[in-house]
A and B are shown apart, each in its own frame.
Chain A
């Protein structure tokens, strides 16, 4: 698929052609991709300084803790690790983040969120999966909720979303449900990404963009 992939174990190569390609495939400009490289470098050297983002590093960035297991960090990592080789490469990082760009299409965000929540990758979100995710969130926040209360929240949600009545949420139902509950997509948009050139301005000194 991609012809400019970075090889595992090698430090990220700042390949201008690759940046142009990434910019053409995503909501980012070449300058923004260059700025994202700074963020990537920072994240990828937090735990293991090899220029690649490992799961511990994502965990560290999101939870400020690199050892605590977290279902959602695992899911986000798997979604970002498009090639499934155990690390998030720079191209994967940029492509995945572009879905979180304020200008990215809602369809992409909806689809990404569905795959994120489809934790068994079965093509639907079932009762057990939903409950597992709710419990994981509550546990993460040290909140104890009686089992019957969790059950009723999960059941109610499935009932609201499951328009064909098969007891689980498929992609089409998810899309309808998000349509009725747009706040569920808020986590899929990062306003930061619009500001990325100001947040990481040092690209201006080494940009390879030829001219205006």
Chain B
């Protein structure tokens, strides 16, 4: 269909051959990486900056199940939320036409982890543990963000160019269509890595613990890394289920005792007593050579940091710097839905010195168990678990009046519930007044 409007304003069409594989004018497909029952994955070139990405193209006509579409949306939302973990494949963009959905994701140059196992056989314990640690770290991050993968399988464990594990297809793999055909046996005859409680469920949508199901899959992955094969491998599904429930599998003699113990505890057919992903962090075999958790930098994880920091070197604010602080001009508000008070921002004024306030913020942050970071322009980042705050001290009248901006970057609800009162009480000494205190606190006002 030819749009016939404003011809002179139309961008000139990209110079391509008629059989071009450029999609939506932005990405050039260069290579087919793989195909599933309803999607194909391509390597592609980003035309604007030359970077390599992967594009997963979902054929809408094959996603006949109406329940699947909202799930695709939910999973996009989940992948977006899980953006910050180094071992989770990042999603860059979603595009769609009438017939197809395109998910543009990070390109994992190292391919599938299990292709490596197929080629080279079992991994030495140290190498296997490193991948396993990265997988467990990614899963723990997901679970803490309320997402379970539920269907980890070989195709979903990728490696980047540096050999780091990337878990892909968060949740997308757990779509109902796959539960019907692709789940129990993949095309090449490998039983999927699915927990017995899901296998048994057979369309019965009774709830199960997704995190525990992921722990099961972890056990299978670890076994596969160390043994080079799968513990349960039977094309007869009921028979395989019986073997699973009897724990009927053998360890190759080269697998060490502590590693066997971990696998045994993860491959517990009963999800109630199965070792959890969290509990692995108490296991000494698992913890060996464990790199400290990548604590996301407060500043790195704030997509709006660049625009959030007013870029003023504290001193000598000009009139427009002050004006820029108006909430009425902060259009980020259009995109934010939050229950954090009335805004994601809390402000207070102070007549202490800049250095005093900054020192106090760092001190109280530290006392409350936050990681304290100092960003560009002297902004202070406070991070604890999911909660991330950026505190900026702005001098309105030199030597006389400061305004301090406390912005919640992540975890607003948790912050409000757990830390806000403590932080507020701790800062009391340097606060002249808090701005826009609402909702009013239900405590009796003590009159001075």
Q: Does B associate with A?
A: yes
Using Cβ atoms and an 8 Å threshold, which residues of chain B touch A156?
A: 318-319
Q: Does B200 contact A (CB under 8 A)?
A: no
Residue pair A21, B6 in contact (C-beta under 8 Å): yes
- Chain B: interface size category: 35 or more
- Which residue, of B321, B325, B334, B349, has the highest number of chain A Cβ atoms within 10 A? B334
Please, how many angstroms separate the alpha-carbon atoms of A76 and B331 in the complex?
Answer: 9
Is A137 in contact with chain B by the CB < 8 A criterion? yes
Complex Cα–Cα for A117 and B171 (A): 47
One digit per residue, 1 when the CB lies within 8 angstroms of any chain A CB and 0 when it does not, for chain B 36-77 equals 000000000000000000000000000000000100110011
Q: How far is the CA of A31 from the CA of B82 in the complex (A)?
A: 23
Interface string of B91-104 (1 = CB under 8 A from A): 10111111111100
Q: Are A142 and B98 in contact (CB under 8 A)?
A: no
CA distance A202 to B75 in the complex (A): 11
Q: A61-B333, A157-B318, A209-B24 are in contact. Are A190 and B96 (CB under 8 A)?
A: no
With A20-B3, A136-B326: A199-B69 Cβ-Cβ less than 8 Å: no
With A17-B5, A141-B403, A184-B320 as given contacts, are A61 and B435 in contact (CB-CB < 8 Å)? no
| Chain A residues near B101 (CB-CB < 8 A) | 204
Task: Mark the stretch among B280-288, B289-297, B299-307 that contacts chain A.
Answer: B299-307
Known interface pairs A153-B318, A202-B73. Does A190 touch B11 (Cβ–Cβ under 8 Å)? no
Name the interface residues of A30-89: CB closer than 8 Å to any CB of B: 31, 39, 43, 61-65, 70-76
Give Cα distance in the complex from A178 to B348, angstroms: 28
Q: Is A183 an interface residue when CB atoms closer than 8 A count as contact?
A: yes
Do A187 and B335 touch (CB < 8 A)? no
Decide if B73 touches A187 in the complex (CB within 8 Å): no
Residue A111 CB within 8 A of the other chain:
no
Q: Are A197 and B328 in contact (CB under 8 A)?
A: no
Q: Is A186 an interface residue (CB 8 A)?
A: yes
Distance (whole angstroms) from the CB of B312 to the closest CB of chain A: 6
Closest to A152 in B: B397
> In whole angstroms, how far apart are the Cα atoms of A97 and B26 in the complex?
21
Verify B303–A182 contact, CB threshold 8 A.
no
**B332 contacts A211, C-beta separation under 8 Å:** no
B80 x A198 contact (CB < 8 A): yes
In the complex, what distance in Å separates the CA atom of A112 from the CA atom of B93?
28
Task: Pick from A24, A62, A100: contact of B10, CB below 8 A.
Answer: A24
Contact with B along A122-158 (1 / 0, CB 8 A): 0000000011011011101111011001000110111
Mask, B405-448, CB within 8 Å of A = 1, is: 00000000000000000000000000001011000000000000
Given the known inter-chain contacts A191-B303, A201-B77, please indicate yes or no for A137 contacting B323, CB distance below 8 A: yes
Out of A43, A62, A131, A195, name the residue touching B327 (CB < 8 Å): A62
Are B334 and A39 in touch, CB under 8 angstroms? yes
Write the nearest CB–CB distance from A148 to chain B, whole angstroms.
10
Whether A190 and B307, one on each chain, are in contact in the complex, defined by CB atoms closer than 8 angstroms, is: yes
B431 to chain A, nearest CB (A): 12
B161 / chain A contacts, CB cutoff of 8 Å: none
A187-B307 CB under 8 A given contacts A24-B3, A201-B94: yes
**How near does chain B come to A16, taking the closest CB pair, in angstroms?**
9
A-B contact pairs, 22 of them (CB 8 A): A24-B9, A24-B10, A62-B328, A72-B329, A117-B320, A133-B319, A133-B323, A137-B322, A141-B403, A145-B397, A156-B318, A157-B318, A181-B320, A186-B307, A186-B310, A191-B307, A192-B335, A199-B80, A202-B73, A207-B98, A211-B97, A211-B99
